[in-house]
Chains A and B, each alone.
Chain A
């Protein structure tokens, strides 16, 4: 059964058709990477899934049935921390931002930020701020985590550490991920499936399974075939 079923018949920005007949399903516990060229509608699809954009034709359904979808956490490209709150208060924002919420403190420890609980966002590096954003998204114990190019603004080494962290917390919290990324290596490393979105509203061009057991080695050759297939799909769709 699908945990989240997103079907966009059409989505326009003014006269421009951005998404047309796009369908993405998330099964419980899997990681789906969504790739495509800039402007193909990846982030728009994620915003629709997060119910941040309701101006579209189609539907977003949870649990394969009617009614509200599963609880969703979202991590954006930028950390979006409230600068007047401490790190711990940011994580516990959903609970009214208490100063020393035990769950927030535990999550911060889990993402490697023990000792930074009372810091302000201005005292954090980009990678640390994104760790806080991940902890905050996990605070409400969501079943689905939507991530919109979450590591695109950090350096390569930090990105690798954050990718490992994300894979670890997704496993530990048994959370389903929809990861929008422009980084093919990242999509293949983290995803159980890679959904390739075509440009100019061509919809889903191909879905490529990544049948490589975890933990995965980013330096090994096991991911190479899937990476090559994603690249081929992108070329085929003239998306790059």
Chain B
């Protein structure tokens, strides 16, 4: 055998590393599968009341019973509301958050107000929005926008405040200030916190959507929940919950994918392992 010192590293490089990606994903499905299986058995064996906790197979039947167009209609209505509310709330939060993060005066003027508004529960907004905006789409989208606003606002402000002082000092050395400094240094440096805020904002947008549709809606997953409750159909309620979970997970997965792509430059443990 040759005494080439490069032989061992070369051999190591040639050996494929085991991929844990799929096994790890499969691990995440074990507990839900066991739970669903347990519930199915418990309901079929008569250990629990099927009217209160329907068997998973009955939930699937309920979904199939609604028909593809009906389910699609509910999903589309909710998704469009979330998309519109999230877009409005996130854009406003990015603008206001950047202003508060960059200006001490804006922080002194606005931040205490937003911190107080942030503490208001979603349902507390509903009567006011119904009074002001009626029962059409406007109050629902506004409520979702409120839900999306605060995480994005908090992320943007915190991101800008946490920018490495040394990078700002270096940029000043090159004569950067004001909006150019914000565009070229502060916002890119704050982007990890901003993207985390956007992900949290999207999550809250789905939650606020349910609150909005529980009150006054004729379509959407929140409406499906109310309908199921009023008709005493737990299978319908669970079907709606299942769809909400799936849509929430799907939208978060897309955001996560975007985050990973946009923050590929990060030298962090998360960037390596995700």
Interface residues, chain A, with chain B CB atoms under 8 Å away: 50, 52, 74, 76, 78, 80, 82-85, 93-94, 97, 120-122
A122 with B267, Cβ < 8 A, contacts A80-B166, A84-B188, A84-B191 known: yes
Selected from B167, B184, B188, B191, the residue in CB contact (under 8 A) with A80 is B167
Mind listing 21 A-B residue pairs with CB under 8 Å?
A: A50-B173, A52-B169, A52-B172, A52-B173, A76-B166, A78-B166, A80-B166, A80-B167, A80-B170, A82-B185, A82-B188, A83-B265, A83-B267, A84-B188, A84-B189, A84-B191, A120-B264, A120-B265, A121-B267, A122-B265, A122-B267
With contacts defined as CB atoms under 8 Å apart, how many contacts are there between chain A and chain B in the complex? 34
CA distance A74 to B185 in the complex (A): 18
Residues from chain A with a CB closer than 8 A to the CB of B170 are 74, 76, 80
Interface positions of B from 209 to 260, Cβ below 8 Å from A: none
B174 within 8 A of A: yes
CA distance A78 to B185 in the complex (A): 18
- Which residue of chain A has its CB nearest to the CB of B172? A52
CA distance A78 to B166 in the complex (A): 9
Secondary structure of the B side of the interface? helix
In the complex, how many residues of chain B place their beta carbon closer than 8 angstroms to a beta carbon of chain A?
16
Residues from chain B with a CB closer than 8 A to the CB of A82 are 167, 185, 188-189
9 smallest beta-carbon distances between A and B, as pairs: A122-B267, A84-B265, A84-B188, A80-B170, A120-B265, A94-B174, A83-B265, A80-B166, A74-B173
Interface residues, chain B, with chain A CB atoms under 8 Å away: 166-167, 169-170, 172-174, 184-185, 188-189, 191, 264-267
Most chain A CB neighbours (cut-off 10 Å) among B166, B172, B265: B265
Nearest CB on A from B41, distance (A): 50
CA distance A122 to B191 in the complex (A): 17
CA distance A78 to B266 in the complex (A): 17
Known A82-B167, A82-B189, A94-B174; 5 more pairs at CB < 8 Å? A74-B173, A80-B170, A84-B189, A121-B265, A121-B267
Nearest CB on B from A78, distance (A): 7
Nearest CB on B from A123, distance (A): 9
Residues from chain A with a CB closer than 8 A to the CB of B166 are 76, 78, 80
A122 with B266, Cβ < 8 A, contacts A82-B188, A94-B174, A97-B184 known: yes
CA distance A85 to B189 in the complex (A): 11
CA distance A120 to B266 in the complex (A): 9
CA distance A27 to B187 in the complex (A): 40
CA distance A62 to B173 in the complex (A): 17
Residues from chain B with a CB closer than 8 A to the CB of A84 are 188-189, 191, 265
